Amino acid sequence: MTTLEIKVALQIQKSVREVFEAIADPDKMSNYFISKSSGRMEEGKKLFWKFPEFDEEFPVRIDKVEKDKYISFYWDTDGNELLVEINLTSADNDSTLVMITEKSMENNEAGIKWLKGNTEGWANFLASLKAYLEYGINLRKGAFDFMKK
């Protein structure tokens, strides 16, 4: 049986240093993705992320960090610990190509549901990161309030 894997990418008009810090620093990440984190993304740390649209906190285990290049972490998705890899590559005009991979789930009904939901989530993450870094806008603010009802 083939496994499913999520791959998304977007170019952001900021340096790799600025993009890396926006992902690794919880104070910056709370401007576009999470509402709070128990700490900075550093190798070997176990963090808890809180999202504005959910009551519970989500455990995140930081795997590897290469400053201004790469962050990987594991998080739990319905009882499966999945690997997320974020690669940052310098592009023209002091821009950064952000590539995210999340893997993997079996190619079955649960896997397809995960693929759909998390692909949407990572696309939203990238759009929100771009809006925050380039324009100072928090796209997530109020966007998922309907999920609390």
pLDDT in tens, 41-97: 999 999 999 988 888 899 999 999 999 999 999 998 777 899 999 999 999 999 999
What CATH number does the domain containing 37 carry? 3.30.530.20
Query: Is position 68 within any domain?
Result: yes
pLDDT in tens, 2-40: 899 999 999 999 999 999 999 999 999 999 999 999 999
Domain span at residue 20? Answer: 3-140
What span, in angstroms and rounded, lies between the C-alpha atoms of 93 and 145? 37
pLDDT higher at 99 or 35: 99
pLDDT at 55: 82
Cα–Cα separations (whole angstroms), residue 60 to 4, 72, 83, 103: 21, 10, 10, 15
- How many domains are there within the chain? 1
Query: Is position 76 within any domain?
Result: yes
Query: Is position 146 within any domain?
Result: no
Query: Is position 148 within any domain?
Result: no
